[in-house]
Structures are given as structure tokens and as C-alpha cells.
Structure 1
Amino acid sequence: MSLLPMTVAGEKALRDELKKLKSIDRPRITQAIAEARAHGDLKENAEYHAARDQQGFCEGRIQEIEGKLGGVRVIDITTIPYTGKVIFGTTVSLINCETDEEVTYRIVGEDEANVKIGKISVTSPIARALIGKEVGDVAVVVAPSGNIEYEIDKVEHLAE
């Protein structure tokens, strides 16, 4: 099994969510189940069934996060010497060669990706086309609508 890359901030966010699920949500749901049981007949007890559904979701999410954390390699970009090249964790400003539209992305792990806030997965077509390139290079992204050329305007090697 290969380890998936993740930023320090991404790992912290997963660990924080796991801690909340285990220390706050799980006890709250257990208490809700106990209270619903005290009301009697479980067959027609909507509160009980809702609490059991929440418990299933909570336990499933705990298992999912623990599995993800067991299969990640945390990469602290601040420990990597800056070479000017696009690597995991860098922030890249791009100019679409056709439209002159500028976009900025940070290359992160799969679980951290969120295009709306400018974070793209290291396995995405854009990131794969950018890795190893420098300012001034043109990266060709193979997209369903056709190839898109981006010129790399800026590469930032920032802490999180």
C-alpha cells in the first residue's frame, strides 16, 4: 500500500475532527440513545431510531478517518528546500494562455482538495501537469473539453 501525501494542516484538521467525534459526538449520541430507550417501546420510537442512525454515521466516520490517518504521509513543506519548482504543498499562480484568466491553486492531498478555496489534489490533472515546472513554463492540462495551456506566473513555497 502506498502512502498518500497530506499537508500538516490537513492532518491536523482530520485529527481535530476525530477528537471531536470521539470526545463530544459519541458520548452525546450514546446519551441520546439511553434517553430514548427510557421512553419504552423501541419499535415506534423515532428518537431512538434517529439516534441509532447518528451513531452509525459517527462510528463510520471515525473508522474512515482512522483509516485515512493510517495511510498518509505528512509532508511539511517548510522542511523542503525551495528550488522554484512546483511541488506538493506549493501555491501556484497560473495564466490561461488562451483567455489570460489568472487562477491560483495550492497543491494538497486528496482529502484536503477544495477547488472553491483554491486547493487542488496532487492527483488532479492540473497538478500532475504542473509538478516539476517553474515560473515561465507552460503546462498543458488534458481536460475533457480539450487541452488547456497555462503559463506559470508565480510559485510560492509558503508555510501553512
Structure 2
Amino acid sequence: MSQSVPMTPESYQKLQEELKHLVRVARPKVVQDIAEARSHGDLSENAEYDAAKDRQGHIEGRIAELNDKIARAQVIDPKTISSDKIVFGATVTLFDVDNEQEVVYQIVGEDEADIKAGKISVTSPVGKALIGHRLDDEVRIQVPSGIKVYEVTDIQYR
């Protein structure tokens, strides 16, 4: 059995919109580009044809990937979660014991992860380490530069 892919409703919506665009716009355009390039004659030295075929391969691959993720999607709305533990969707405030600074992360699916926006993947080392912890817990996380020690100062589901 294939593994479910946890994601927020926003991420699920984005994947559906991207799939719709690829199927309705990008795929027909690349088919048209291939037909046009074919009409130029000898395909063995036709760079336009090769480029269009490459684009078609990328588009079809992405369509297959999106269909798979959407089929396995486990849509989780953080607003509906009530837990005193850190789980998928939590927005967590951490106190970095070493540099005495606060950081805030939301634990999201892989496709949504964006460290600049404070969104970390549930499958990342930090995301995995935080899961299951409670308020005031000390969390030790192995990172490339060594071990980070955080104290959980707030957990919200929004």
C-alpha cells in the first residue's frame, strides 16, 4: 500500500490548480509545438522538435507525480486539530537555548516546506524531532552543525 501524503488544504488546492493548468494549457500547447516543429521537415536536426519533446516529457512526468500525490493526499486542516502535543500542522514557537532567540515554524507537508516562510517539512530532521513533544519540553535535534537545543514555548493550530 502506498503511503499517504499529509498536506494542508492550501497545498492540496495548489496541487489541483497546477494539475489543471498542465492538463488544460501546457499539455495542449506542447502537442501543438511538436506538430508545428514536425511540419518543418527533417526531425533529425530539428532543435525545436527536440526541445518540445523534452518539455512534453517533463509535463507528463509532473502530471503523473501530481496525480499520484493528489490520490494519496491526506488533507489535514490545522484549525480542526486540538492537541497538547506537536503534530502535523502545528505552529510551534521554540526558544533556541544556544543563541537565546525565538523561532516559529509551522510543520507542513514536503511540497509546502519553505524555511524563509517559517514552514518546515514534517519529514525534515527538525520536523521529525518536534513531533510528539509538548509545551516546555526540551528538544535536542541533530543538525549538520551539531546538536541544537530548543525549548517548546508555544504550540498553536491555526
Common fold by TM > 0.5: yes
Instruction: Quote the residue 1:121 is aligned against.
Output: 121
Structure 2 spans left out of the alignment, 5+ residues: none
Shift of 1:83: 3.0
Structure 2 residue 131 is matched with structure 1 residue 142: no
**Higher mean C-alpha deviation, range 86-95 or range 20-29:** 86-95
Aligned to 1:31: 32
Number of the residue aligned with 1:42: 43
> 1:130 aligns to what?
130
Partners of 2:90 and 2:83 in 1: how far apart?
11
What is the match of residue 16 of structure 2?
15
Identity of aligned residues (%): 49
Q: Which amino acid aligns with 1:118?
A: G
SS of corresponding position for 1:98: coil
- Aligned residue identity for 1:54: R
1:22-58 CA-to-partner distances (Å, cap 9, x unmatched) read 0110011111111111122211111111111111110
Aligned residues: 157
Structure 1 residue 135, shift from structure 2 partner: 2.8
Of 45-54 and 123-132, more deviation after overlay is shown by 123-132
Letter in 2 for 1:70: A
C-alpha separation in 1, matches of 2:145 and 2:43: 54
Question: TM-score under structure 1 normalisation?
Answer: 0.89
Deviation at 1:110, TM superposition (A): 1.9
Structure 2 counterpart of 1:137, one-letter code: D
The RMSD of aligned alpha carbons is 1.6
Q: Amino acid of the residue matched to residue 83 of structure 1? A: S
Hey, what does 1:75 align to over in structure 2?
76
- Structure 1 portions without partners, runs of 5+: none
Q: Distance in 2 between matches of 1:76 and 1:27?
A: 34
CA distance in 1, matches of 2:42, 2:146: 61
Q: Deviations over 1:61-118 (max 9, x none)?
A: 11111112222211122222x2343211011121110111222111011222222221
SS of aligned partner of 2:132: coil
